[in-house]
């Protein structure tokens, strides 16, 4: 069983700009959806006024219902989109910041005199090549006649 993660923000200086960027993209996309909504609404209103239908006519009610349906769909899509952008940004930023944080802590420990052990990253973390390079250095330090 995997241990419960204590914090998804191990390096806020790196992670928060990434999350902010994802929110900006979500906002731009939501504004594009809102623009589409207002365009469709104006087109439906223009179509309804062209028909010159009396109030309460079934076609007028149908057009009004379609406008309301489209508005609800746009709001729902915007909410889901912002949530998905944020979850994805947090998870991806953790896959970037987590290994760098782990490597930093590992190097600080070795620099403080601890045994030069191998560093391990989680499966799916970025920068696996850094762990491999660090492990080569740690192996060389373990073999060295002059231990730190």
**For 95-124, what is the mean pLDDT?**
91
- Residue whose C-alpha is closest to residue 93's, from 34, 7, 31, 26: 7
Residues 6+ apart with CB under 8 A from 44: 63, 66, 67
Comparing 121 with 10, which gets the higher pLDDT?
A: 121
Mean pLDDT of the chain: 85
Predicted TM-score (pTM) of this structure: 0.67
pLDDT digits over 31-81, tens only?
888 888 888 888 877 877 787 777 788 877 887 788 888 888 888 988 898
CA distance 119 to 109: 11
């Amino acid at each position: 069983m995997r241990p419960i993660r204590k914090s998804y923000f191990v390096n806020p200086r790196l992670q928060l700009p990434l999350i902010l960027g994802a929110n900006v993209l979500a906002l731009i996309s939501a504004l594009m959806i809102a623009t589409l909504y207002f365009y469709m609404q104006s087109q439906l209103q223009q179509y309804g006024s062209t028909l010159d239908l009396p109030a309460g006519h079934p076609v007028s009610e149908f057009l009004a219902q379609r406008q309301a349906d489209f508005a609800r769909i746009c709001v729902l899509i915007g909410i889901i989109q912002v949530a998905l952008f944020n979850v994805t940004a947090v998870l991806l930023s953790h896959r970037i910041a987590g290994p760098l944080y782990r490597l930093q802590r590992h190097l600080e420990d070795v620099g403080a005199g601890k045994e030069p052990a191998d560093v391990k990253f989680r499966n799916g973390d970025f920068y696996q090549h850094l762990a491999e390079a660090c492990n080569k250095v740690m192996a060389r330090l373990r073999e060295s006649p002059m231990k730190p």
